[in-house]
Amino acid sequence: MPMKTIENNSKTARLEARVTAEEKKLFQHAAALQGRSLTEFLVSCAHDVARKTVREHEIMELSAKDRKAFVSSLLKPPAPGRRLKKAARRYKDTMWI
């Protein structure tokens, strides 16, 4: 019977940041309102913003007009031009296809 692998999610990495006294008070107040420790609050907020930032940069959202143009170009691509045909022939000759 195969043994289950236990994933180690221990938190060993450390982050430090310098903030103003006013920022710290604000963060502490917000954490208290959510019933969290300051660390839990800051890590959660940083995690959420980081994931959102990565998602926004990795996912391209197109307008309806752009989606139609994109799909249309996939379904009905333009005929290859002279230069593309020449490059394809050169590739085939070089690669012995």
Q: Could you report the per-residue pLDDT of 66-84, keeping only the tens digit for each?
A: 999 999 999 999 999 999 9
Measured CA to CA, the distance from residue 73 to residue 24 in angstroms comes to: 53
Q: Looking at the domain assignment, is residue 12 inside a domain? A: no
Tokens of 68: 């139609």
Burial class (CB in 10 A: 0-12, 13-18, 19+), 43: middle
For residue 4, is it within any domain? no
Average pLDDT of 13-25? Answer: 96
pLDDT tens digits, one per residue of 27-63: 999 999 999 999 999 999 999 999 999 999 998 889 9
Answer whether residue 29 is part of any domain: yes
Residue 85 lies in a domain: no
Section 92-97 average pLDDT? 86
pTM above 0.85, yes or no: no
Please name which of 40, 35, 38 lies closest in space to residue 23, comparing C-alpha atoms.
38
What tokens were used for 90?
């050169």
Domain count, the chain: 1
Structural domain for 72, as ranges = 21-76
Q: With respect to residue 97, please indicate whether it lies within any of the assigned structural domains.
A: no
Report if residue 34 sits inside a domain: yes
- Looking at residue 26, its pLDDT comes to 99
Residue 70 domain flag = yes
The verdict on residue 81 lying in a domain is no
